[in-house]
Each structure stands twice: as structure tokens, then as C-alpha cells.
Amino acid sequence: MRILIIGAGSTGSHLAKLLSGKGHEVIIVDTNENKIENVQKEADVQAYKRDATDVSLYEELDLETIDVVVTVTDKDEVNLLVATLAKESGVPKVIARVKSPQIAKLLRKMGIEDVFNPPTLIANLIYSTIEGKRRIATLLPAFLGDYELVSLVIKEGDSSVGKRLGEIEVPEQAKIIAIYDGEKIIEPIPQIEMKPGLHIIALVHKEAVDELLRNYR
């Protein structure tokens, strides 16, 4: 598939790496030159330092030939514009990240069903963990195929307790994307100490899930 990603932050860049690794043609756009350079080093992608609100960009990329548009910038108004343009251009699948419930509702009214809100996503994962379920593959776009979101809770007696996040081996086909401490969502930096009760949220290939869980147990 030909996939356009708007936003080369942690979500966009990791998604680009996963998708290009699966053989998809990936195009990624961001205004930040450093982010563009980093994603080019990590993935086989076409990367452009451009303003996503510049409509001429989509004419140059021939938007009508794109199979999937994923817009994950940190600005709701940009994601709204991109999703709207993609929908009106007939892109088969449009996925948008937004913070505002009102904008999410608006996008869904336009027929864009794949709208996600990070705090809601994390909350659903935590709820699933409390209910005794570890995986929620349905929360991920279908084109990710073999990848799924996994939630695990650090418990007393786990081998990971007392270690720093960066000291725990993570499978090559996995990425820790967030940590929840019971009150707030924390960026998964290497210095965080593993304590009972922490929720670890990861994006993992289905064949690497058991290995990831073993490394924390």
C-alpha cells in the first residue's frame, strides 16, 4: 500500500518504521528538519520537510493515489484539515489523532471512523488490564496486521521491580509507548524506576508478546 503519514514525532516515526518494514511505500511529512532526518535514518521512507497545511503538497503527492492517510501531528487543527482533505479526495482509509472530543465527533460525522484520542486509548488499555485481559488488538488500525497493543502491570515479586526502564530488554519488534502511574501518563524515558502498580503500554509484534512479558516478570 501507499501510505502517507503526517507528523514525524514518536508515533509517526515508529509507525513509518513498522510499515516500511512490512514492504509498504511510506511517505512522511513534518515541518521539523531533525525529525525528518531521524526517520530517514531509521526507515526506508520518502520524507519531506513541508507544512501539512499547504494544499499544494497534496497535489504534488497525488493524494488520489494514496491508500491510507495517517495524521498524527500534535495540533488538532492540522489533523482536522489533513483528514478532511484526504476524505474529500477519496482516500480509502483515513486515520486521525485528535485531543478534542468535539473535533473527534466532527470527524466521525464526516465518515472518518478511525479517530483516536491517546488518553482514551490508554484508559481502555488499563481497563482491559484490570479486567484480566492483556491485549487489545482491535484498537489498532487493521493495516498494522501482526502488531497489537499490550498492557501489563508491574507486580510485587516481578524481576523488573527496582530496575530502570532502560535496563529491561525490549524485543526488536516491540516499543514501549507509555507508562501510567495511577494518576497520569508518563513518557517512557529510560530512567523511570519500575515499581509495583505501574502500567506498561507497548506496541508489539504478536510473536514478541510472550518475550516482552517474560522480560518484565
17-47 pLDDT per residue, tens: 888 988 999 999 999 999 999 999 988 999 9
Mark whether 125 and 107 lie in a shared domain: no
Mark whether 143 and 210 lie in a shared domain: yes
Q: What is the pLDDT of residues 66-116, one digit of tens each?
A: 999 999 998 999 999 999 999 999 999 999 988 888 888 888 888 887 887
Per-residue confidence (pLDDT) for residue 133, from 0 to 100 = 47
Mark whether 15 and 72 lie in a shared domain: yes
Q: What is the rounded average pLDDT of the residues 158-186?
A: 87
pLDDT of 193 strictly over 60: yes
Mark whether 102 and 127 lie in a shared domain: no
Mark whether 131 and 104 lie in a shared domain: no
Dig out the grid coordinates for 14 from the structure. Answer: 515508529
Per-residue confidence (pLDDT) for residue 203, from 0 to 100 = 80
pTM above 0.75, yes or no: no
Mark whether 112 and 128 lie in a shared domain: no
Distances (CA, A) of 211 to 204, 206, 208: 10, 10, 5
The number of residues making up the chain comes to: 217
Mark whether 103 and 197 lie in a shared domain: no
pLDDT of 147 strictly over 90: no
Mark whether 162 and 201 lie in a shared domain: yes
Q: For the chain, what percent of residues have pLDDT higher than 90?
A: 48
Looking at mean pLDDT, say which of 48-57, 113-122, 205-214 comes out highest: 48-57
Q: CATH code at 183?
A: 3.30.70.1450
Per-residue confidence (pLDDT) for residue 132, from 0 to 100 = 52
For the chain, give me the number of helices (H) and strands (E)?
Answer: 7, 10
Q: CATH code at 102?
A: 3.40.50.720
Mark whether 111 and 143 lie in a shared domain: no
Which residue, 17, 27, 24, 23, is CA-closest to 60? 27
Per-residue confidence (pLDDT) for residue 128, from 0 to 100 = 61
Between CA 172 and CA 53 the distance in angstroms is 35
Q: What is the rounded average pLDDT of the residues 166-187?
A: 84
- Of 116, 136, 158, the one marking the end of a domain is 116
Could you tell me the residue range of the domain that residue 153 belongs to? 120-216
Domains held by the chain: number:
2
Q: What is the pLDDT of residues 101-110, one digit of tens each?
A: 888 888 888 8
Mark whether 135 and 208 lie in a shared domain: yes
- Of 116, 131, 148, the one marking the end of a domain is 116
Between CA 19 and CA 197 the distance in angstroms is 32
- Of 84, 116, 148, the one marking the end of a domain is 116
Which has the minimum average pLDDT: 22-36, 121-135, 167-181, 194-208? 121-135
Mark whether 102 and 195 lie in a shared domain: no
Mark whether 110 and 126 lie in a shared domain: no
Q: What is the rounded average pLDDT of the residues 59-68?
A: 93
